[in-house]
A and B are shown apart, each in its own frame.
Chain A
């Protein structure tokens, strides 16, 4: 069965420090991988995606993510966190044969001033 896991419900990081939000997945074959961010009372916004090629992908707002096939992970990273990065982050995966996106349960990121 296809699934996405975000093992941390909550991540706290001090402003200026690097942040990591973890995601692992289980799909058949090679997946398409996505990160979305949800600010309070807002819809989800696309951050970045991995399709193929370079394992390190860069996205909006200085975020990047690294695809690791052997570990089936796609962790979201940012070198220096901002207070404005505080939001709910969702990892999503789509296999290349189905119609569905599979979303993780989300990780709430709080950046402490």
Chain B
């Protein structure tokens, strides 16, 4: 089966523009995560979706960042009015939680979207 896919693989934009990053998780995976990876940094948690529950948005760095997950599958991360400090690799991951408490299941990561804000 297909893994997690992300598009585009690279995105170059100008400061102030909006961008949308897409994630297609593994079919049947109930949990979806977005992370940001900056050079020399670890993975910074952004947002977490689990089934039909309200998403955990506690990692979003500002109100310019938002994400949605439609139909429990595809997710879109939107960054409005991009700034140069938004330049990073944005990673999406999914995992399967049969029960809400199955927090020990590993994540499957996509290849990432490299965002460059000029």
Contact = CB atoms under 8 A, between A and B. Distances in A.
Contact of B104 (A45, A49, A100): A49
Contact of A100 (B59, B109, B112): B59
B107 A99 contact: no
Interface residues of B, number: 24
Nearest to A105: B42
Interface residues of A, number: 24
B44 to A, nearest CB: 8
B84 to A, nearest CB: 22
B42 A103 contact: yes
Interface in A35-59: 36, 41-46, 49, 51
Given A90-B43, A103-B35, A105-B40, 8 more contacts: A4-B42, A42-B111, A43-B109, A44-B109, A99-B56, A100-B45, A101-B43, A103-B43
Given A42-B111, A99-B50, A105-B40, A32 B45 contact: no
Interface majority SS (helix, strand, loop, mixed), chain A: strand
26 contacts: A4-B42, A32-B104, A41-B111, A42-B111, A43-B4, A43-B109, A43-B110, A44-B91, A44-B93, A44-B109, A46-B108, A90-B43, A92-B43, A94-B103, A99-B48, A99-B50, A99-B56, A100-B45, A100-B56, A101-B33, A101-B45, A103-B35, A105-B40, A105-B41, A105-B42, A106-B42
A69 interface: no
Nearest to B50: A99
A49 B56 CA distance: 24
B18 interface: no
Contacts of B91: 43-44
Interface string A14-35: 0000000000000000001010
Interface string B37-64: 0001111010010100000101100000
B106 interface: yes
A36 B108 CA distance: 10
Contacts of B45: 100-102
